[in-house]
Structure 1
Amino acid sequence: MKRSATAAALSLFACALLAPPAHARDNDAEFFRTVEGQWTGPGEIVAGKYKGTKFTCTLDGTTPAEKPGMTLDGSCRVGIFNQPMKATVIRSGNSYKGTFLDGSAGKGLDITGGNVAGDRVVLSISRKQLTGAMQAKFTSDNTMNVTISVRLEDQLIPVVGVSLKRVDSVAVGSIAKN
């Protein structure tokens, strides 16, 4: 039971991390290109039944050539358990759509919208009756912090936090700070 709840929390994380914004702008493609490369880092479930559960993720970021968006593919490890993680987001009209794993129709999540603003992306995420948001913020060219929050009544409650560091030599340009 603990493994499935941890997998669900990690699913929220991965989905959020991969999900692009809803109101696409010309700077969106540039933002997503900064996610290209290899990333690794620790995370923790910070609220709920599994509060205090720690995990480590290793992810490869790629971007499609035809439209702004991205894919993060890899795994997160909790103790001896290794959970595959894959999230894909791509521009669809004036918005972004995407999935984590097999989407909310299966065991994953849907990315339903969001926006890029300077050094961060904020995305809307959902799974059946659960809704929330994910924020990924670059604190430097090689460090990205991700927070996943769920909506409880009128509040967004942070439930997962992850700090990823670039572990390859992919050259990236600086992201404009807002």
Structure 2
Amino acid sequence: MYLRILPMIAVALGATSAMAPEVSAAPRDKAFFQSVAGSWKGPGEIVAGKYKGTKFSCNLTGEPTPNGETGIKLDGTCRVGVFKQPMSAVITEAGKGYKGQFLDGADGKGLDIISGAVNGDKVVVGINRAQLNGAMVASLRGTNTMNITISVKVEDQMIPVIGLTLDRDLDSIAVGSID
């Protein structure tokens, strides 16, 4: 079951509502998503449940959404041992929150993003698949490190199940020279 939760990692880029008026939130949210665009890589671990202790690593690339909406499009892979899982996600603004999906959404093998908000250097999104409800929190630590926690709701309590720390892949940034 927890390996099915791995697609949530792809968002890396999150279940409270913003307190600022919607008009001023849009530029701030767009700036956040632009700041997390780029290549990221790093280790993670399943911290609860049947697969507790399983370690994995991810390589993800975030880009602006294709139609220029506030949000992000992610693609990449996460590896558990010799197994490699493709990761993809799209998060876009929907009214005062966010919507989207991991992989092919809850109707397929993924998850739906059903809500979300940006608050400073953190994004929180609500996630859903059938009876599974939870949240993913991605927090920037400076400009080159992002911590991600994915929690699921068990009865009336949110239980963290996945933790991940991504570092900006500075080797993949194109550099030029002055002639």
Q: Which letter maps to 1:109?
A: L
Q: Which residue of 12, 21, 24 maps to 1:17?
A: 12
How far residue 94 of structure 1 moved from its aligned partner, in angstroms, is 2.5
Per the alignment, in what secondary structure is the counterpart of residue 78 of structure 2?
strand
TM-score (norm 2): 0.86
Q: Which residue of 120, 123, 126 maps to 1:124?
A: 126
Q: How does 1:52-63 map to 2 (within 5 A)?
A: 52-63=53-64
TM-score (norm 1): 0.86
Structure number with higher relative contact order (C-alpha < 8 Å, ≥ 6 residues apart): 1
Q: 1:20 to 1:151 in 2, by over 3 A?
A: closer
How far residue 20 of structure 1 moved from its aligned partner, in angstroms, is 10
Per the alignment, in what secondary structure is the counterpart of residue 52 of structure 2?
coil
Distance between the aligned counterparts of 1:19 and 1:42, measured in 2? 19
Distance between the aligned counterparts of 2:96 and 2:2, measured in 1? 33
How far residue 13 of structure 1 moved from its aligned partner, in angstroms, is 2.2
Per the alignment, in what secondary structure is the counterpart of residue 69 of structure 2?
coil
Stretches of structure 2 lacking an aligned partner (at least 5 in a row): 175-179
Q: 1:48 to 1:84 in 2, by over 3 A?
A: same
* Aligned counterpart, 1:47: 48
Regions of 4+ moved over 4 Å: 18-24
Q: Percent identity?
A: 52
How far residue 162 of structure 1 moved from its aligned partner, in angstroms, is 0.3
Larger radius of gyration: 2
Distance between the aligned counterparts of 1:21 and 1:30, measured in 2? 18
